[in-house]
């Protein structure tokens, strides 16, 4: 993998120009059920567009991203041999039926109950077994190559909850979700998708740190994708400081802020918000005296693209395509990577 640009595509417009700038799209989302069955129809509004999209760009990879329909769907299907076979066969079937190039598993996360999932410590090994079975079923389709990828949490907890070297025997690449690095779990206003960490941050994490962590655990650099955010994170009711809200404690965690398109129209140096740049983190932010907004912009994406090329990583993916109707962010990635 080299200089890849992959977009998660759900609802919203998707054009010929978009298709020609991307190397892959992840259709969001299909659902895995606790009995191993898969629901796609009614969940993904781009299925009927697949022939048209292939006409626009025959080389574009179109991959189905899967979440769980039930709180214990992944854990249950991973733990049982027959359910693993059922789930893998179901995924291979929809891959053939809709002329897809493969499957992406968005399990947030093995062994981690904090998002309301029913999980088990056995998820760590059982996830490897599930991926092995899906790999076997995808390879059995024949013809062109079919991909198996995962979306992974961008911190130490994730690499401790999966068997990374063993997983890479079955996966083509990993989308490391290097966004929400500051989120609802953090009462410290800060960058949610910064390339580098600010030294004053007591909750140190960054895009670079996350990819280096995965690489240190045995994942080849060219099979790691860095995540970019087409949306913002927001902290409110802050006290001002010399850094304009950066790294100020907040009464509550960081919620979701406006998408990039709305940020440009109504927030960037508008309506009391001033845009600032953290040169150490290579990240922008907005502050109006009490509300702090963290996001990606063309300058931060340029830095990310240059870093990915310098270090030999696979490329950049982003969440989510509909968040930038201006097209500026995708254009930036296209110019810098393709």
Residues annotated as catalytic are: 108
**Parallel/antiparallel/unpaired status of strands 4-9 and 315-319:** parallel
Q: What b-and-e string marks burial along 153-188, b requiring 16 or more CB atoms within 10 Å of the CB?
A: bbbeebbebbbbebbbebbbbbbbbbbbbbeeebeb
Neighbours of 202 (CB within 10 A): 7
Per the DSSP assignment, residues forming a β-bridge with 176 are: 152, 226
- Indicate the SS3 state at residue 319: strand
**All residues at 6 or more sequence positions from 310 whose CB lies less than 8 Å from its CB, including other chains:** none
CB 100, CB 64: distance < 8 Å: yes
**Parallel/antiparallel/unpaired status of strands 24-32 and 61-68:** parallel
Alpha-carbon distance of 135 to 78, in angstroms, equals 14
Strands (E), 117-184: 147-153, 173-177
**Parallel/antiparallel/unpaired status of strands 292-294 and 231-235:** antiparallel
Alpha-carbon distance of 93 to 261, in angstroms, equals 37
Per the DSSP assignment, residues forming a β-bridge with 9 are: 27
CB 325, CB 333: distance < 8 Å: no
- Indicate the SS3 state at residue 256: strand
How many CA atoms does the CB half-sphere of 116 hold within 13 Å?
4
CB 203, CB 294: distance < 8 Å: no
**What is Dmax (Cα atoms) for the chain?**
60
Burial of 140 (0-12, 13-18, 19+ CB in 10 A): exposed
């Amino acid at each position: 993998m080299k200089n890849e640009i992959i977009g998660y595509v759900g609802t919203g417009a998707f054009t010929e120009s978009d298709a020609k700038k991307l190397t892959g799209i992840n259709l969001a989302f299909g659902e895995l059920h606790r009995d191993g069955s898969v629901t796609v129809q009614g969940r993904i509004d781009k299925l009927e567009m697949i022939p048209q999209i292939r006409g626009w760009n025959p080389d574009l990879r179109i991959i189905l991203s899967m979440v769980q329909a039930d709180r214990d769907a992944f854990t249950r299907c991973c733990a049982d041999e027959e359910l693993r076979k059922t789930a893998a066969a179901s995924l291979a079937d929809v891959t053939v039926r809709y002329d897809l190039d493969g499957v992406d598993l968005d399990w947030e996360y093995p062994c981690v109950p904090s998002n309301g999932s029913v999980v088990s410590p056995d998820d760590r090994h059982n996830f490897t077994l599930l991926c092995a079975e899906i790999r076997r079923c995808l390879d059995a389709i024949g013809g062109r190559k079919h991909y198996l990828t995962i979306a992974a949490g961008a911190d130490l907890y994730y690499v401790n909850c999966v068997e990374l070297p063993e997983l890479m025997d079955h996966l083509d690449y990993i989308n490391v979700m290097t966004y929400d690095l500051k989120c609802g779990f953090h009462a410290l206003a800060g960058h949610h998708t910064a390339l580098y960490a600010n030294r004053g941050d007591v909750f140190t994490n960054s895009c670079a740190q996350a990819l280096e962590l995965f690489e240190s655990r045995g994942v080849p650099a060219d099979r790691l994708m860095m995540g970019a955010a087409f949306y913002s994170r927001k902290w409110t009711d802050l006290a001002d400081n010399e850094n304009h809200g950066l790294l100020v404690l907040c009464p509550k965690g960081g919620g979701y802020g406006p998408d990039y398109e709305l940020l440009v129209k109504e927030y960037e140096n508008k309506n009391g918000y001033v845009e600032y740049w953290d040169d150490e983190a290579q990240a922008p932010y907005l502050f109006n005296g009490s509300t702090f907004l963290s996001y990606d912009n063309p300058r931060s994406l340029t830095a990310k693209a240059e870093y990915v090329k310098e270090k030999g990583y696979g490329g950049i993916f982003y969440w989510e395509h509909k968040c930038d109707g201006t097209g500026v962010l995708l254009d930036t990635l296209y110019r810098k990577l393709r």
